[in-house]
Amino acid sequence: MDELTAVDGAGRGAIAAILEQLRKYEVRFGALTQMALRLSEETRAALMQNQSLLVASGADADEAAFIAKRLPGLDPQTLVTLPKWQYVVSTMLHGRRTAPFRVQGVAVDQVLADYYNPGGLAEQSAAVDTNLRRRPVREIIAALEEHDDAILEYLCSARPGEDQPPVPVLTSGSGGRP
């Protein structure tokens, strides 16, 4: 979940409650924020209690101090002065937390430079449309509006004590027809 700060502000404690439940069921959840200190105290505590991977990039002094407390042996100043594309990471490995280590990334435009092909954009877009069976929004909405009629017809055809008709399979691509 990206931009957790915005979601947390609107959630009024719900995010923390969800995180606590996810832990019980060993659900994996990725949360990203540039400002951990702006999260509610409950959400911040739930994230830090349940985290198995902590990645930090450059931060201001307050954020760096908060994160460094969770990365034993790391001086907050390291995060304050961390260059672009460098990160400090700690993860769980065989049930134990690793010592913080550095990871260096590269700019996306450098990594993907060989794939840059503006001349092939139309062909690529057409292939995506075909593979995803994308259609214009007006066509999708028209198909969805027919679903109510198909559902109502099915519900009205069911009679107590009789064999039930097969349930129609409705998809936005079926035009509302079973």
Q: Residue-wise pLDDT tens for the chain (178 aa)?
A: 557 788 887 777 788 888 888 888 888 777 778 888 888 899 888 888 878 888 999 999 999 999 999 888 999 999 999 999 999 999 989 989 899 999 998 888 888 888 889 999 999 999 998 988 888 899 889 888 888 888 888 888 877 777 766 776 666 554 444 4
| Backbone phi, psi, residue 88, to 5° | -110, 130
C-alpha–C-alpha distance, residues 121 and 158, integer Å: 50
Q: Evaluate whether residue 117 is within a structural domain.
A: no
Region for 85 from its dihedrals, namely left if φ exceeds 0, alpha if ψ lies in -120 to 50, beta otherwise: left
User: Do residues 14 and 102 both lie within one domain?
Assistant: yes
Tokens of 8: 């947390």
pLDDT value for 175: 44
User: Do residues 104 and 140 both lie within one domain?
Assistant: no
Instruction: For residue 23, count other CB atoms closer than 10 A to its CB.
Output: 13
Q: Evaluate whether residue 90 is within a structural domain.
A: yes
Q: Evaluate whether residue 116 is within a structural domain.
A: no
User: Do residues 173 and 86 both lie within one domain?
Assistant: no
Place of tokens 């760096």: 64
User: Do residues 103 and 21 both lie within one domain?
Assistant: yes
Q: Evaluate whether residue 48 is within a structural domain.
A: yes
End residue of a domain, out of 96, 111, 126: 111
The answer to whether residues 32 and 4 touch, using CB atoms and an 8 Å cutoff, is yes
Q: What is the separation of C-alpha 59 from the centre of its chain, rounded to a whole number of angstroms?
A: 22
Of 92, 71, 93, nearest to 82 (Cα)?
71
User: Do residues 37 and 83 both lie within one domain?
Assistant: yes
Which neighbouring-strand residues pair with 103? 87
User: Do residues 27 and 90 both lie within one domain?
Assistant: yes
C-alpha–C-alpha distance, residues 142 and 145, integer Å: 5
User: Do residues 107 and 143 both lie within one domain?
Assistant: no
Place of tokens 């092909």: 117
| Backbone phi, psi, residue 138, to 5° | -60, -35
User: Do residues 27 and 84 both lie within one domain?
Assistant: yes
Tokens of 118: 């503006």
pLDDT value for 75: 94
**Domain range spanning residue 162?**
135-178
Number of domains observed in the structure of the chain: 2
